[in-house]
Structure 1
Amino acid sequence: MGQKLFRSGVCVRATHTLLTWAVTLSLFLHDTELRRCEERGELLLPLLFLLLVVLSVLMYFAVSLMDPGIVLADTAKGSLEETQAMIPQSLTPRLRRCGYCLLQQPMRAKHCQVCNRCVRRFDHHCPWIENCVGERNHRWFVVYLVVQLLALLWALHIAFSGVSPHVTWELWLRANGFLLAALAVAAVFSVVVLLLLGCHLYLVSINCTTWEFMSRHRISYLKNCDSEENPFDRGVICNLWNFFCICKTVMWEQMYHRNSPNAV
């Protein structure tokens, strides 16, 4: 029962929420820049920070509970022919059935053994959101990382503003203990989120997923390409536009010749 509850993501999401509000509460209760603004009656800064924290929590739950692009059924015949037509003959891989759920896998899809389902344009399974990152929620995952990083960096600045000097180390630790704990949590997560965001922005700019980048030598449609060749890359600007633009549907399986801007 406990294992099933943990696998459902309840414990992970509850931990994230409790940590977020514990750090936020400690910043408001100590003599930080936020507290001093409240005492002066300047509520704009505290409200903006609180709104950013709320936005980060809402983004977290949205990405965590969103459908990442689950493959629900076999590819229809017409859709299969259309997909194969988007792939150059020299690179055409044989589409295969998943060895776990026995569904016909679209190209760039992968079976997640944690979630026990196939996900389109699979990037990775994120244990912190207890969900896969794939075709439908990848852009929102990156947006969430940006919002989370802004909230963490702001929290670091506020926490530093509240650290007060004392005569002895013992008194200093006693007075700043909770604030130092919040500072440590914010610092660790800031580094992690910054590294994660940098990696994802780089992969997005070349239209590659984490799974494809890490397991290139084992993927049928990539292992026969040159080491520096990515058949999905259309250039940094076009890749970023396709990824972040929500106004159109992108065919992520479409492959391109390295020396030609036109799809085959």
Structure 2
Amino acid sequence: MRAQAGSGGWLVRAAQMGLSGGITVGLFLHPTDLRQQVLQGELLPPLLFSCLVLCSVSLYFVVSFMDPGYVEQDEDEGELLSEEQQVMISQQDSTLRLRRCGYCMLKQPMRAKHCQACQHCVRRYDHHCPWIENCVGERNHALFLVYLAVQLAVLLWALPAAWSGLKFGQLSWAWLQHNLLLLLAFLVMAVSTLVAVLLLASHLYLVSCNTTTWEFMSRHRISYLRRCEAENPFDRGVFLNLWGFFCACRLVAWEKLYPREDGSAV
């Protein structure tokens, strides 16, 4: 794993920790269902909720500090690929030329992109996520989706718990002062839930098509997509796309799936 440099990254991660910890503690301090369960001795649901929050925070830091698939040097295919993949590549036409990055001057594998924020080329680049202060790429994309799913589960549990602590029967200034933090926490969680649902749904759709956010948004600017007749040369069908994304624990030579049409640099 690699820590991102700069104080901005630590501020973002501290904010994530503060929100997660503060909202969790607030749910147990206010008269919510979780607090009532603790007072009544029903410890299993609060314990499971706390473990889910801890799992979410742990996944956040793993994805945040994880190598997303940096291209460190002009990689030798033999070091990255299995024997079967090497044979497949050697049997194919070798006219496809990979271009060098204009920033770090490294030879970019297909689907890689240079990230200006990280100052690295990233394999199967999806996007740079400012909330985790890291790129989402070939090595951490699947774990990023797992984190989103766990975070969404936490939010869907916490939302009704927070709502249960807001008693609207006697609205007054004293009520607002007493419940302001819980009300703000509920609003933050509501917005976060909407964002998490949209992010998870959009990423699952893109993964099922074996495309990335960058390729989906910038197809007209990407040479290997702009010149290709097929709408998505990497699409192998929904099942194989999902299987390869979540179950294949290795880097992929995307060049082997790309149709050779000319010797242009990609």
- Unaligned runs of at least 5 residues, structure 1: 258-264
Distance 1:126 1:84, change over 3 A: farther
Give the number of the structure with larger relative contact order, counting CA–CA contacts within 8 Å between residues 6 or more apart: 2
Paired letter, 2:113: K
Q: CA separation in 2, counterparts of 1:63 and 1:42?
A: 33
Q: CA separation in 2, counterparts of 1:229 and 1:17?
A: 41
Alpha-carbon RMSD: 2.6
| Structure 1 residue 77: Cα displacement | 7.3
| Structure 1 residue 220: Cα displacement | 1.3
Aligned to 1:240: 242
Q: CA separation in 1, counterparts of 2:96 and 2:46?
A: 55
Residue 196 in 1 paired to residue 193 in 2? no
Paired letter, 1:230: N
Q: Secondary structure at the match of 1:254?
A: helix
Residue 6 in 1 paired to residue 7 in 2? yes
Aligned to 1:114: 117
Paired letter, 2:235: D
TM superposition outliers: structure 1 runs of 4+ over 6 Å: 77-81, 86-89
Q: CA separation in 1, counterparts of 2:220 and 2:92?
A: 19
Residue 62 in 1 paired to residue 52 in 2? no
Q: CA separation in 2, counterparts of 1:53 and 1:254?
A: 41
Instruction: Write out aligned runs for 1:116-195 (5 A).
Output: 116-195=119-198
Q: CA separation in 1, counterparts of 2:91 and 2:166?
A: 59
Q: CA separation in 1, counterparts of 2:37 and 2:15?
A: 29
Q: Secondary structure at the match of 2:128?
A: strand
Q: Secondary structure at the match of 1:221?
A: helix
Distance 1:253 1:142, change over 3 A: farther
Kept after mapping to 2: 8 A contact 1:93/1:220: no
Aligned to 1:231: 233
Aligned to 1:218: 221
Distance 1:17 1:78, change over 3 A: closer
- Unaligned runs of at least 5 residues, structure 2: 260-266
Q: CA separation in 2, counterparts of 1:250 and 1:96?
A: 18
Q: CA separation in 2, counterparts of 1:141 and 1:199?
A: 13
State, as a whole percentage, how many aligned pairs show the same letter. Answer: 58
Distance 1:133 1:32, change over 3 A: same
Paired letter, 1:162: G
Paired letter, 1:232: F
Q: CA separation in 2, counterparts of 1:119 and 1:55?
A: 26
Q: CA separation in 1, counterparts of 2:97 and 2:233?
A: 16
Q: Which deviates the most, 94-103 or 78-87?
A: 78-87
| Structure 1 residue 162: Cα displacement | 1.0
Paired letter, 1:32: T
Q: CA separation in 2, counterparts of 1:83 and 1:94?
A: 18
Q: How many residues align?
A: 251
Q: Which deviates the most, 50-59 or 156-165?
A: 156-165
Please report the TM-score for the alignment, with normalisation by the length of structure 1: 0.87
Q: Secondary structure at the match of 1:118?
A: strand
